[in-house]
Structure 1
Amino acid sequence: MDLISQIVERAKADKQRIVLPEGTEERTLKAANQILTDGVADLILLGNPDEIMALAKEWGLGNIHKATIIDPETNPKKEEYAQLLCELRKKKGMTIEEARKLVLNPLYLGCLIIKSGDADGQLAGARNTTGDVLRPALQIIKTAPGITCVSGAMLMLTHAPECGDNGVLVMGDVAVTPVPDANQLAQIAVCTARTAQAVAGLDPRVAMLSFSTKGSAKHEVVDKVVEALNIAKEMAPDLKIDGELQADAALVPRIGASKAPGSEIAGKANVLIVPCLEVGNISYKLVERLGHATAIGPILQGIARPVNDLSRGCCIEDVYKMIAITANQAIAAKKNS
């Protein structure tokens, strides 16, 4: 069974409630119909019920009626959620009038549904920017305990079975924090390892990547990676992690043994932590295009309950996969809370 099938089967076995704030968006609705048909998750669609059902009829989506549909305008819990939002943001000066306006915004409403325990995760971004998707998540759901920085991991399904776990690797951060400091980089390492566990089912072996291996080069950016390694070890003492390692030393046993003798990670890494967003974004896109790898994500991490962001260029299959991934993250978040 391939990895995506495993992710879908795990989601089916422990159904989570996933909010889709873009309830009238075509790709989202078509993916939602397939999710409901396959029994992958319980879905909450936000939008006007008449409009959603008319679109479902137009597109021949026979199972959309199985979703819970909440109209932000007529939501019976509107006032309850407005009070919750006002309470959460009162130190920032939010008034109840402002909160009542914001609960009509599906991206805010979705996060409030999660915060109040009525849903387990959210997926949006087919129509909205990353900033618009993340803002309410950080204001309402907030970051996970011990984490202050949100990051994005990419699941890489490569044609190099000798690397990672039969060609499966997880890379972070590829999406959010441009120049992490040592503390943030350590958090990214720990969060990406958790994502590798929750989503890919991997036993994470984490390599902190650099252009240096074990002191072969001296530079302040190398020092940052070494410092991050030490912080990550304190944060997660049981985590299998090492650095600083060059990419070849992390992935190729022969080179790992030569450049980092005695390392339990060198040559065996399945989780790759890059020193900055620039490196991560360029790296995964090069591997995807030149190596014909499948890149799935970014999978957002560090939020107390999963909120994921789609590319506005996504296809129906992308939405389907990301709903299943969000469900896997929600399962793990409950176990860890």
Structure 2
Amino acid sequence: MVGVDKLFSELKTRTSRRERIKVDPVEHLFNELRTKVSGWNRKIVFPEATDSRILSAASRLANDDVLTPVLVGNMDEIQDRAQAMEISLEKMEIYDPGIYVGMDEMIQAFVERRKGKVTEGEATEILLDPNYFGTMLVYLDKAHGLVSGAAHSTADTVRPALQIIKMKEGVCKTSGAFLMAKGEDKYVFADCAINIAPDSRDLAEIAIESAKTARMFDIEPRVAMLSFSTKGSAVSEETEKVSDAAKIAREIDPDLVLDGELQFDAAFVPAVAQKKAPESAIRGNANIFVFPGLDAGNIGYKIAQRLGGYEAVGPILQGLNSPVNDLSRGCSEEDVYHLALITAMQSI
């Protein structure tokens, strides 16, 4: 086995580069994103409009002239909360499902979209839910994306999106990627949030969609399909699943720089790659890491975040026709602000 000293040597080299950077790199990243989004007149829906973190972030977004926040909820409650927080709603749009004048049109569109799976009466009740109502605003082109999850579960955010917005053509499942940033280093980890046991086709889709996410952050994709094996060093159903995924992804996008199956060190450390995978197109310089399952992905990003000191931005939901993104219930105002910028960027 290749010693861990080479892995730590590579980490030390990259850390020394980061120490030369004076500006907070994550803030610099989002400053660039803010510049890209400004001028596109994006409208982003916030279905949890009385949450103080949401209102504060929405106020900043509006005052920075980055995008137009679209607040969904009880009109009186939103106005009372904003007044208590001394926040102006002047640059925001507010929709109250209980008094929305276009509700009949929305109900008909929802019933048609659900293809008879709900009645008009059921749709009337469902669309009083801010997440469903907000998702329909996106579907009906009254907004460009949605951010929720500060006070709801992931299922509450994702379910309406899957039922209404649905997947892009050629994509079967949504997935959740994280941007991992520290110093001048930027990586994308996926899937860390949605698919528990993806098959080969799922992993191929995750790789391709993650490459699109990476480009949004000016990362030129080099995708590693991760496993506990490198190029057949171990043989099992799990390793074959990953190698098959790499083949499928290359068939879908022959121009994408991608390889697998690879162990992490063979994907990350050039010296290790020379020994374990000398023919690999990655050459130990991967910047997108596709994990074989949710166990590995979720654990992996949290190790990088907590032990490695990387900023974890996401999850960024991939594969939907229009962007919908899920906040953690433990999110901060800054998290809301950042995810709104990402959502707006996805819609461009």
TM over 0.5: yes
Distance 1:39 1:145 in 2: 33
Counterpart residue number, 2:114: 89
The DSSP-based 3-state class of the residue aligned with 1:66 is coil
Question: Which residue identity lines up with residue 73 of structure 1 in the other structure?
Answer: G
Say which of 65, 73, 90 aligns to 2:90: 65
Query: Structure 2: which 5+ residue stretches go unaligned?
Result: 1-24
Say which of 104, 111, 117 aligns to 2:128: 104
Say which of 98, 104, 110 aligns to 1:79: 104
2:173 is the alignment partner of 1:156: no
Corresponding pairs, count: 322
Contact (CA 8 Å) 1:154, 1:172: kept in 2 or not? yes
Distance 1:83 1:266 in 2: 54
Counterpart residue number, 1:254: 271
Equivalent residue runs for 1:22-37 within 5 Å: 22-37=48-63
Distance 1:14 1:279 in 2: 37
CA deviations 1:176-201 (Å, max 9, x no partner) are: 00000111111111111111112x12
The DSSP-based 3-state class of the residue aligned with 1:267 is coil
Counterpart residue number, 1:223: 240
The CA deviation at 1:267 is 1.1
The DSSP-based 3-state class of the residue aligned with 1:154 is strand
The CA deviation at 1:146 is 0.5
The DSSP-based 3-state class of the residue aligned with 2:347 is helix
The CA deviation at 1:266 is 2.7
Counterpart residue number, 1:234: 251
The DSSP-based 3-state class of the residue aligned with 1:285 is helix
Say which of 137, 157, 164 aligns to 2:161: 137
Distance 2:39 2:250 in 1: 33
Say which of 146, 150, 171 aligns to 1:122: 146
Equivalent residue runs for 1:1-337 within 5 Å: 2-62=28-88, 64-92=89-117, 94-159=118-183, 166-198=184-216, 200-331=217-348
Question: Which residue identity lines up with residue 77 of structure 1 in the other structure?
Answer: G
Contact (CA 8 Å) 1:245, 1:266: kept in 2 or not? no
Distance 1:134 1:79 in 2: 24
Distance 1:257 1:91 in 2: 57
Distance 2:295 2:80 in 1: 43
Distance 1:258 1:13 in 2: 49
Contact (CA 8 Å) 1:288, 1:294: kept in 2 or not? yes
- More off after superposition, 259-268 vs 240-249: 259-268
Distance 1:290 1:48 in 2: 42
The CA deviation at 1:252 is 1.2
Contact (CA 8 Å) 1:53, 1:65: kept in 2 or not? no
Counterpart residue number, 1:162: none
Counterpart residue number, 1:163: none
Contact (CA 8 Å) 1:8, 1:40: kept in 2 or not? yes
Distance 1:28 1:284 in 2: 25
Contact (CA 8 Å) 1:32, 1:43: kept in 2 or not? yes
- More off after superposition, 172-181 vs 244-253: 244-253
Question: Which residue identity lines up with residue 120 of structure 1 in the other structure?
Answer: H
The percent of aligned pairs where both chains have the same amino acid is 45
Question: Which residue identity lines up with residue 201 of structure 2 in the other structure?
Answer: N
- More off after superposition, 287-296 vs 251-260: 251-260
CA deviations 1:282-304 (Å, max 9, x no partner) are: 01111111111111111111111
Distance 1:13 1:90 in 2: 37
The CA deviation at 1:50 is 2.6
The CA deviation at 1:249 is 1.1
Contact (CA 8 Å) 1:15, 1:327: kept in 2 or not? no
CA deviations 1:104-162 (Å, max 9, x no partner) are: 11111111111111111000001111011111100000011111111100110135xxx
Query: Structure 1: which 5+ residue stretches go unaligned?
Result: 160-165, 332-337
Distance 1:223 1:239 in 2: 20
Distance 2:283 2:347 in 1: 31
Question: Which residue identity lines up with residue 308 of structure 1 in the other structure?
Answer: N
Distance 1:253 1:4 in 2: 30
The DSSP-based 3-state class of the residue aligned with 2:38 is helix
Distance 2:269 2:199 in 1: 28
CA deviations 1:211-261 (Å, max 9, x no partner) are: 111111111101000111111112222211111111111111111122111
